[in-house]
Structure 1
């Protein structure tokens, strides 16, 4: 194997290692983003339910106040 071939092979191996590292970083970041999305989605569902309950309470109180004002 010539010196040029050795250098090319070394460069190729380095590129493969760099690609592997970048891929693992991307996969880790993607997994984190998926977890954040899942958490946010669950939290938003809870908040939405709370808002619906509070809206119903406000509506009920508004109706009671309207009846008392008559």
Structure 2
């Protein structure tokens, strides 16, 4: 094997290691994104339900006030 072939092989091996490392990092980041996305979806559902409850309370209070002023 010539010196040039050795250098090319070494460069290729380094590229392969870099690629594997970047792929591992990407997979880890993607898994974290999916976890965070799931958490946000659950939190958004809870918040949406809370907003609905509060809207219903406001509507009820508004109706009570309207009835009081009509008397």
Which TM-score tier does this pair reach, normalised by the shorter chain? over 0.9
Coordinate RMSD, CA, aligned: 0.6
Segments of 5+ residues of structure 1 without an aligned counterpart are: none
Instruction: Compute the displacement of 1:13 (Å).
Output: 0.3
Show structure 1 runs of 4+ deviating over 2 A: none
Q: What is the number of equivalent residue pairs in this alignment?
A: 70
Instruction: Compute the displacement of 1:67 (Å).
Output: 0.6
Aligned to 1:4: 4
Q: Return the TM-score normalized by structure 1.
A: 0.96
Aligned to 2:52: 52
Q: Return the TM-score normalized by structure 2.
A: 0.94
- Is 1:61 matched with 2:61? yes
Instruction: Compute the displacement of 1:9 (Å).
Output: 0.5
